[in-house]
Amino acid sequence: MQQAAAPPANQDAAAAGDAPPKQVAQALEQLGQAGRLIADVRLGADRLLEALFYVAEEPHHQHSAKCLNLILKEESLMRQHLQNLSAIGRQLEESGVLNDSLRSRSNSWGLHMPLVCPDGAVVAYAWKRQLAGQAGASAVDRTRLALKAFTDQKRRFFPHLAEDSVVESAMKKHCSPLPISQEELADQKTLADILSHLEKEVANLQAFTYQRLDWSKRASSLPSAANESSTDSSKEHSFPSTSKWVQGSVSTHAPDKAAVIELLLPSVFRAVVSLHTAGSMDPDAVAFFSPDEGGSYLHARGFSLHHVFRHVSEHASMALQYFTCANPETALHSLLHWVCSYQTLFMKVCSKCGKLLSMDKQSGLILPPLKRPFRYYTAGRKSAKSSTTENCSMDLIKAFHISCFSEEA
Amino acid sequence: MPIKWILHWQPNPGTTVNSQILSEVSQCAESINGVKEGRWKSTLSFYKAMAREQTIANDFPRDFVGISLAEQPNKYFLVIRGQRLVVEAESSIQMIMEKLQSYKTRVALNFEGNQYQLGDFQLRVGKVVPMHSESLRGIVMEMEYLPISSWEKSHQIMGEFFDLWQESLSKRSLPGHFVHIEPNFAEYGLADQYSLQHTAVQYASITAQMIATSQSVQATRN
């Protein structure tokens, strides 16, 4: 029987960097160990009961002292087994096997592992071939699982690939909904320029930049619904060190070391964009949150507590990928502009069905139109209208429900 | 905090509210994928002034209510509708009022029922029963939209959700419908940012409406 003592700490560190098959093999081994421990506990319990019955029936038997010793010994063994079991349970929890957290980890390959087929067979590996090789699942199930795995990974790593590439080439001549003139683009060379221009263009928008650590401090200090008391009428919690274009309360480095951009539209959304390296203009992640949310989970790769913002974040990630691939130089500019089109998130009806709320068939949730087209949204094209109509041109951006949205839009 | 609309059931003329309607409403919530989460309970008490002489007592406002809300049991809300006043106090104020004996509880109502989660929406369906009684006096509903705290910004979405709700409910052909009255929060000195005081004002408002409705029904009967 394998000794199930607590494994060394370096095993966990190694596990984090391992490829999924190894992680899965380790998880299965741990599950096996857990199974053996549970069997030991059962046996121990049986022995204890037996000994107790024996002693109870014949309390003055010559062997009763021996039985008592047996009971004590068994009890300490059981205790050991249970402790080992809980240690393994903790490891399994950390590696994400016992709960759903594997899905949200950055090195997740998008699949729930281990997978248990309807007939009880355990699918250890997630690769298409191995799924096909599993005897337990039916052909339909195997195909379905493989297809799901493949589309999940494709959506995650190649979001800019069109579902229907034929239609995409035909629509390339379509005009972008929000053209930005060449002159304006030339003016907006630095991040500060872009943000100040954006603030002028979009009413009520507040834009801030931060260093990474400063942002996480700010995020944690934001009032959240959990710790908000009803007598707290001052909703504006001023973070003393947050002034525009200056990060940190102590350091006085130049604004071009910004790593996190916050776009706050009060009562509508708070968008967080992270830049690939501090001071660069390359966005690498974006996420949306409710302006009332607060906590350390508020960052460019975090997930909002609300379904609507989670879906918007997912769509925004795809937009980010598209902008980065289409024109890396203007990616940030396009992205920030596009993010601002969500100022109408709770007000603009769907351009296809004309309603504000609709039940999304896939998730079973009632959501507003949270998709905004990004595909042909390019900055740097000559504007047909003058720049004074910029404000109303934001209204021209269409909005769609999840099911109403199609790539042709 | 997230905005909330509080609705009350308006029975059709000649009909009364009954528990069958309550269960139909609950089923409707589940039919639009509402997940039952738990129970909730709020209370509202009507106070009357205790003065030595009856004539003086009549000078005091009769629409003085005290409300205890499910989400914040350690707070107590006092509302005088006629004067557009709402005050938030610690729940221990009830003890002070008891000691002072200046105002006594005339009638106390319980609003209680089940809570349903529909994605970013939260619905509460509740029956209105007087304290220490089982007779159903009315049905209330709370509609909450979690992502928005601004009353103004949420209006359109809540309006549509209300229409969606009415539409699904109408398929059950119930003898009545839900009504949404919007108190003028500005008159109470309340801001656009939603708070529990807004909820308290809405409760005071619908309770007054329910009483007015039942009184008019009684009047037509007599």
Q: Which tokens is B37 given?
A: 């989460």
pLDDT at A174: 38
Inter-chain CB proximity B121 and A346 less than 8 Å: no
pLDDT at A381: 36
pLDDT surpassing 50 at residue A101: no
> What is the per-residue pLDDT across A176-192, written as a single tens digit (0 to 9) for each?
444 444 445 555 678 88
A348 in Cβ contact with A358 (< 8 Å)? no
The band of B68, judged by pLDDT with boundaries at 50, 70 and 90, is very high
Inter-chain CB proximity B33 and A228 less than 8 Å: no
pLDDT surpassing 60 at residue A219: yes
A235 in Cβ contact with A225 (< 8 Å)? no
pLDDT at A161: 67
When comparing pLDDT for B15 and A100, which is higher?
A: B15
> What is the per-residue pLDDT across B171-222, written as a single tens digit (0 to 9) for each?
888 899 999 988 899 999 999 999 999 999 999 999 998 888 877 777 776 6
Considering only the beta carbons, identify the residue of A230, A268, A308 that sits closest to B153: A268
A109 in Cβ contact with A153 (< 8 Å)? yes
Q: Which of B193, B197, B204, B199 is nearest to B1 (CA)?
A: B193
CA–CA dist A395, A336 (Å, integer): 16
Considering only the beta carbons, identify the residue of B75, B147, B195 that sits closest to A306: B147
Q: Which tokens is A47 given?
A: 């022995």
CA–CA dist B207, A337 (Å, integer): 47
pLDDT surpassing 90 at residue B75: yes
pLDDT surpassing 50 at residue A118: yes
pLDDT surpassing 60 at residue A150: yes
A154 in Cβ contact with A146 (< 8 Å)? no
Give the mean model confidence (pLDDT) for residues B121-128.
93
3-state secondary structure of A308: helix
Return the residue of B nearest to A360 by Cα. B119
Considering only the beta carbons, identify the residue of B1, B33, B148 that sits closest to A346: B148
Give the mean model confidence (pLDDT) for residues A35-41.
89
Return the residue of A nearest to B158 by Cα. A357
Among A105-109, A354-358, B89-93, B180-184, name the one with the lowest average pLDDT: A105-109
Question: How many angstroms away from the CA of A230 is the closest CA of chain B?
Answer: 6
pLDDT surpassing 90 at residue A257: no
Inter-chain CB proximity A356 and B156 less than 8 Å: yes
pLDDT surpassing 70 at residue A159: no
Most confident of A111-115, A352-356, B87-91: B87-91
Set of chain B residues whose Cβ sits within 8 Å of the Cβ of A289: none
When comparing pLDDT for A230 and A69, which is higher?
A: A69
CA–CA dist A233, B1 (Å, integer): 11
Residue of B5, B74, B120 best to disrupt the A interface, most CBs of A under 10 A: B120
Inter-chain CB proximity B33 and A359 less than 8 Å: yes
Phi/psi for B71 (5° steps) reads -75, -15
Give the mean model confidence (pLDDT) for residues A32-42.
88
Question: How many angstroms away from the CA of A357 is the closest CA of chain B?
Answer: 7
CB contact set of B22 (below 8 Å; sequence gap of 6+): B113, B125, B127, B136, B139
pLDDT at A305: 92
Percentage with pLDDT > 90 across chain A: 10
pLDDT at A213: 83
CA–CA dist A262, A256 (Å, integer): 15
The band of A128, judged by pLDDT with boundaries at 50, 70 and 90, is very low
Among A64-68, A319-323, A374-378, name the one with the lowest average pLDDT: A374-378
> What is the per-residue pLDDT across A298-345, written as a single tens digit (0 to 9) for each?
888 889 999 999 999 999 999 998 888 888 888 898 899 999 999 888
Task: Locate all alpha helices (DSSP H) within A295-396, ordered by sequence.
Answer: 307-326, 331-340, 390-393
Give the mean model confidence (pLDDT) for residues A125-130.
50
Which amino acid, residue A305? Answer: L
Angle at which helices B19-31 and B151-170 pack, to 10 degrees? Answer: 110
The band of A252, judged by pLDDT with boundaries at 50, 70 and 90, is very low
Percentage with pLDDT > 70 across chain A: 62
Query: Which stretches of chain B sit within 8 Å of chain A by CB?
Result: 1-2, 32-33, 72, 75, 88, 118-121, 146-150, 152-154, 156-157, 160-161, 164, 191-193, 195-197
Inter-chain CB proximity A309 and B147 less than 8 Å: yes
* Single pTM value for the model: 0.65
Ordered structural domains, chain B, with CATH: 3-221 (2.40.320)
Phi/psi for A274 (5° steps) reads -110, 140
Give the mean model confidence (pLDDT) for residues A38-66.
81
pLDDT at A117: 58
**Mean pLDDT score across all residues of chain A:** 72
Set of chain B residues whose Cβ sits within 8 Å of the Cβ of A235: 193
Q: Which of B179, B107, B172 is nearest to B139 (CA)?
A: B179
Inter-chain CB proximity B196 and A366 less than 8 Å: no
Question: How many angstroms away from the CA of B89 is the closest CA of chain A?
Answer: 9
- CB hemisphere CA count around B4 (13 angstroms): 22
